[in-house]
Chain A
Amino acid sequence: MMQMTGAELIVRLLERQGIRTIAGIPGGAILPLYDALSGSDIIRHVLARHEQGAGFMAQGMARVSGRPEVCFASSGPGATNLVTAIADARLDSIPMVAITGQVPLSMIGTDAFQEVDIYGMTVPITKHNFLVRSAAELLEVIPQAFRIAMSGRPGPVLVDVPKDVQNQLVSFEAYPEPAVPDPVPALDMVAIESAAKMIDEAERPVLYLGGGVVHSGASRLAVTLAEQAGLPTTMTLMALGTMPVDHPLSIGMLGMHAARYTNFVLEESDLLICVGARFDDRAIGKAAQFCPNAQIIHIDIDPAELHKIKAAHVAINGDVATALEALLPRVKHNLRKRWLSHVDSLKSRFPMAMPGRDDPRTHYGLVHAVAAVLDDEAVIATDVGQHQMWVAQAYPFRRPRQWLTSGGLGTMGFGVPAAIGAALSEPDRTVVCFTGDGSFKMNIQELATLAEEGLNVKIVLMNNNSLGLVYQQQNLFYGKRVFASKYRGEPDFLKIAEGFGIAAVDLDSSPNPRATLAQALQSRGPCLIHASISREEFVYPMVPPGAANTEMIGG
């Protein structure tokens, strides 16, 4: 018989689950858990400077490892500060377990100090959530939380633990087994057969890969399918890296900021094979006009995604890797010369224009210059805005989990803490965070965490002293009525970095920006790399919001 407090039990169960690093911030209602954590020889705690930072650090760890990771926050404001990071994890299907302290059970519902109904608040943004009512319940709740976070379509789970539950003694015979993911659903083999037949019979098929391919570890299978069946392959923002950019079958990212040819290829396709993607509006534009002549095969682990936006002719509910494995031996080898040479001609007529790509003082040039110094082992994170889209368009992604970005929620402030999380999980890699001056300021306090941990994170700040993407939209779609998108003041980011104890270089004043960049990227440890970008540079091509993908402007 074992006996311990609820707090100790949580720590033991996390250790047994394989958790080695937890990001968080303590406070009154979670102090028993912190006290228990201080006694762990196995789990390291990383003290964030804002709970949203802790949430994104857990996400960064989970995005590079594929395993659920953990963050801690106290009740009330600690818990509400986590909300954005949880919602972000939900929309990008990132496995995460958030554990929050709560006021004692007897005080719930009395408007006690730092009481908020974080359980109620997170119902719509978690995959599932728990309010724990006794220490004994933890024996079931903690493994369940991990099982749910990593089974099927991954997602965040919140466990709210009242302070008295953390202090309560619980006796039990044996620890529960660490959670494992649920078995994947059985495949509908009839549907697999018809999908194979449709692929064989199609004349102008396109393979459309989404984040599910990353989650399911199916990139290699997807590339094999493309090669075997001669499928031009497009990727969503979340799937960049699943097929290397320079693969001859890659037609790059689709959607709002795709190359023109990519959207034109989709327009002409007669069969769309959607794998682990969800027809998001940023990817498909006006749904009714997306791939107007195509039949659709849709493979997804989440049955509710099938037929949600576009009705599929063949819908396969299943794990993407399992489904592709079943599909491969049934699909004929096909060189598909006619279609592929047509795709190539569209590509050469409507290529991705990247003005300035050889000049490191331009936006595209800077992204290319960073890539030129690094190999594919580096991890690339971004914030949200124009800089994010330029990196998505220009960086040569070649492996899954190389690319961390806030896709579904589009959260400014994601980049720096997510990059810290990635570096915590994989300290030997170089982690680059491309950020914008607006986004950077949303979690700039995490520079203190970064300095303290001394991680190999390089922050490339593309500074246009504005909320560039907003400025762009106002210029293009609101009659140039620029409002609340240009900053009047401008902080000295180099001094800010210095103040946090982080090395900084300025490419603007460097006589040889390439050399300065290479040196900054190649020396170990955190560094801020500052580069000014003209505010008048816009992300092109662009599909106006609400328009069809073929109605691109610019580029």
Chain B
Amino acid sequence: MIEQVAEPLQQHGFAKVVLELEVNNHPGVMSHICNLFARRAFNVEGILCMPMSDTSRSRIWLLVFEDQRLEQMVLQVEKLVDVRSVRRHGAEHEVFERLERFFH
């Protein structure tokens, strides 16, 4: 019998993308976002989160691979009640680049 098994998840080799999320700032937001990516087996390479100057909001930066499921992931992220907006940037966005030196 051939069960319906998903294709093996191939992410390496894809270009990277930076997602910028503006979210409501409360203790559960990070778990909603991380959980969504984990549950849909979509790797998050990097994540940053800080409150904005208006402290009722936070900004989250995510570094992810641009595979064919990214579109679907973004739609799912947009459905989260606490996510106010999602913007997409190329991997060259400086937010993660500037942090490189803390990791290498």
Verify if B9 is at the interface (C-beta below 8 Å from A): no
Verify if A330 is at the interface (C-beta below 8 Å from B): no
Verify if B54 is at the interface (C-beta below 8 Å from A): no
CB atoms of A477 and B31 under 8 A apart: no
Contact of A544 among B1, B36, B76, B80 (CB under 8 A): B1
Give, as a whole number of angstroms, the nearest-CB distance from B43 to chain A.
17
Residues of B within 8 A of A499 (CB): none
CB atoms of A123 and B4 under 8 A apart: no
Verify if B53 is at the interface (C-beta below 8 Å from A): no
A120–B78 Cα distance when bound, in Å, is 20
A128 in contact with B75 given A477-B1, A545-B4, A547-B2 (CB within 8 Å): no
Interface flags for A436-479 (1: CB within 8 Å of B; 0: not) read: 00000000000000000000000000000000000000000110
How many residues of chain B get a CB closer than 8 Å to chain A's CBs?
20
Find the A residue at minimum CB distance from B39.
Answer: A124
Interface flags for A293-318 (1: CB within 8 Å of B; 0: not) read: 00000000011100110000000000
DSSP majority for the A interface?
Answer: mixed
Give, as a whole number of angstroms, the nearest-CB distance from B86 to chain A.
12
Interface flags for B1-36 (1: CB within 8 Å of A; 0: not) read: 111110000000000000000000001100110011
Which residues 75-94 of B have a CB within 8 angstroms of A? Answer: 75-76, 78-81
Verify if B55 is at the interface (C-beta below 8 Å from A): no
CB atoms of B2 and A131 under 8 A apart: no
Verify if B72 is at the interface (C-beta below 8 Å from A): yes
Verify if A281 is at the interface (C-beta below 8 Å from B): yes
A386–B5 Cα distance when bound, in Å, is 24
Verify if B97 is at the interface (C-beta below 8 Å from A): no
CB atoms of B1 and A545 under 8 A apart: yes
Which residues 118-140 of A have a CB within 8 angstroms of B? Answer: 119-120, 123-124, 127-131
CB atoms of B72 and A304 under 8 A apart: yes
A304 in contact with B4 given A120-B31, A124-B39 (CB within 8 Å): no
Verify if B100 is at the interface (C-beta below 8 Å from A): no
CB atoms of A304 and B76 under 8 A apart: yes
Contact of A123 among B3, B5, B31, B72 (CB under 8 A): B31
Q: How large is the interface on A (under 10, 10 to 19, 20 to 34, 35 or more residues)?
A: 20 to 34
Residues of A within 8 A of B75 (CB): 303-304
Give, as a whole number of angstroms, the nearest-CB distance from A76 to chain B.
19
Which residues 42-80 of B have a CB within 8 angstroms of A? Answer: 71-72, 75-76, 78-80
Which residues 255-302 of A have a CB within 8 angstroms of B? Answer: 281, 286, 302
A329–B3 Cα distance when bound, in Å, is 44
Verify if A546 is at the interface (C-beta below 8 Å from B): yes
- Residue among A123, A281, A302 with the most chain B CB within 10 A? A123
Find the B residue at minimum CB distance from A128.
Answer: B81
A448–B35 Cα distance when bound, in Å, is 38
Verify if A324 is at the interface (C-beta below 8 Å from B): no
Verify if A150 is at the interface (C-beta below 8 Å from B): no
Residues of A within 8 A of B80 (CB): 128
- Residue among A120, A128, A281, A304 with the most chain B CB within 10 A? A304
A281–B4 Cα distance when bound, in Å, is 9
A406–B72 Cα distance when bound, in Å, is 26
Residues of B within 8 A of A130 (CB): 28
A286–B1 Cα distance when bound, in Å, is 13
Find the A residue at minimum CB distance from B82.
Answer: A128
Contact of A119 among B28, B36, B71, B72 (CB under 8 A): B28
Residues of B within 8 A of A545 (CB): 1-4
Interface flags for A519-555 (1: CB within 8 Å of B; 0: not) read: 0000000000000000000000000111100000000
Residues of B within 8 A of A127 (CB): 81
Find the A residue at minimum CB distance from B33.
Answer: A123
A546 in contact with B32 given A304-B75, A307-B71 (CB within 8 Å): no
Residues of A within 8 A of B71 (CB): 307
Give, as a whole number of angstroms, the nearest-CB distance from A281 to chain B.
6
A148 in contact with B81 given A123-B32, A303-B75 (CB within 8 Å): yes
CB atoms of B35 and A124 under 8 A apart: yes
CB atoms of A304 and B79 under 8 A apart: yes
Residues of B within 8 A of A124 (CB): 35-36, 39
Give, as a whole number of angstroms, the nearest-CB distance from A165 to chain B.
15
Contact of B4 among A129, A302, A308, A546 (CB under 8 A): A546
A366–B5 Cα distance when bound, in Å, is 37
A547–B3 Cα distance when bound, in Å, is 8
CB atoms of A286 and B4 under 8 A apart: yes
Contact of A131 among B4, B28, B72 (CB under 8 A): B28
A304–B80 Cα distance when bound, in Å, is 11
Residues of A within 8 A of B31 (CB): 120, 123
CB atoms of A546 and B35 under 8 A apart: no
Residues of B within 8 A of A478 (CB): 1
7 contacts between A and B (CB under 8 A): A119-B28, A304-B75, A304-B79, A307-B72, A308-B72, A545-B2, A545-B3
Q: Which 7 A-B pairs have the closest CB atoms?
A: A304-B75, A546-B2, A477-B1, A128-B81, A546-B4, A123-B35, A124-B39
Q: A123-B35, A307-B72, A546-B1 are in contact. List 16 more A-B contacts (CB 8 A).
A: A127-B81, A128-B81, A130-B28, A148-B81, A281-B4, A286-B4, A303-B79, A304-B72, A304-B76, A304-B79, A307-B71, A477-B1, A545-B1, A545-B2, A545-B3, A546-B4
